[in-house]
Amino acid sequence: MLKLAFKMAEQLIAPHLCPACDAEVADRGLCSNCWIDLKLISSQACGQCGLPFDIPMIDVLNGHVCGQCLMDPPDFDHAVSALVYADPTRRMILALKHGDRQDIAPVLARIMAPKTIPLIEAADFILPLPLHRSRFFKRRFNQSAELTRQILALHGGGRMMDTRILIRKKATPPQGKKSKAQRISAMRGAFQVPTDQRHRVKGKHILIIDDVLTTGASLSSAARCLKLADAREISVSTVARVC
> For the chain, how long is the longest CA-to-CA vector?
62
Count of alpha carbons within 13 angstroms of residue 42, beta-carbon side: 7
Calculate the alpha carbon distances from 233 to 1, 128, 205, 215, 236 in Å: 51, 16, 5, 20, 10
Regarding pTM above 0.85, the answer is yes
Q: Are 238 and 211 in contact (CB under 8 A)?
A: yes
Domain tally, the chain = 1
Calculate the alpha carbon distances from 102 to 82, 95, 144, 146 in Å: 19, 8, 11, 8
Does residue 73 have a cis bond before it (omega within 30 degrees)? no
CATH number at residue 50: 3.40.50
With respect to residue 166, please indicate whether it lies within any of the assigned structural domains.
yes
Phi, psi of 164 (to 5 degrees): -100, -25
With respect to residue 2, please indicate whether it lies within any of the assigned structural domains.
no
With respect to residue 7, please indicate whether it lies within any of the assigned structural domains.
no
With respect to residue 12, please indicate whether it lies within any of the assigned structural domains.
no
Beta strands 125-128 and 78-84, pairing class: unpaired
Give the range of the structural domain holding residue 108, as residue numbers without chain letter: 38-241
Q: Identify the burial level of 196 via C-beta atoms within 10 angstroms of its C-beta, where 0-12 means exposed, 13-18 middle and 19 or more buried.
A: exposed
Torsion of Cα atoms, 42 then 45 then 48 then 51, to 10°: -100
Q: Are 85 and 241 in contact (CB under 8 A)?
A: yes
With respect to residue 3, please indicate whether it lies within any of the assigned structural domains.
no
Give, in degrees to the nearest 5, the angle at Cα 166 between 45 and 203.
Answer: 70
With respect to residue 121, please indicate whether it lies within any of the assigned structural domains.
yes
With respect to residue 143, please indicate whether it lies within any of the assigned structural domains.
yes
One pLDDT digit (tens) per residue for the chain, 243 residues:
666 555 545 544 556 889 999 898 877 789 999 999 999 998 889 989 999 987 654 444 455 888 899 999 999 999 999 999 999 999 999 999 999 899 999 999 999 999 999 999 999 999 999 999 988 888 899 999 999 999 999 987 889 999 999 999 988 877 767 777 888 888 888 999 999 999 999 999 999 999 999 999 999 999 999 999 999 999 999 999 999
pLDDT at residue 61, as a whole number? 44
With respect to residue 21, please indicate whether it lies within any of the assigned structural domains.
no
pLDDT at residue 5, as a whole number? 55
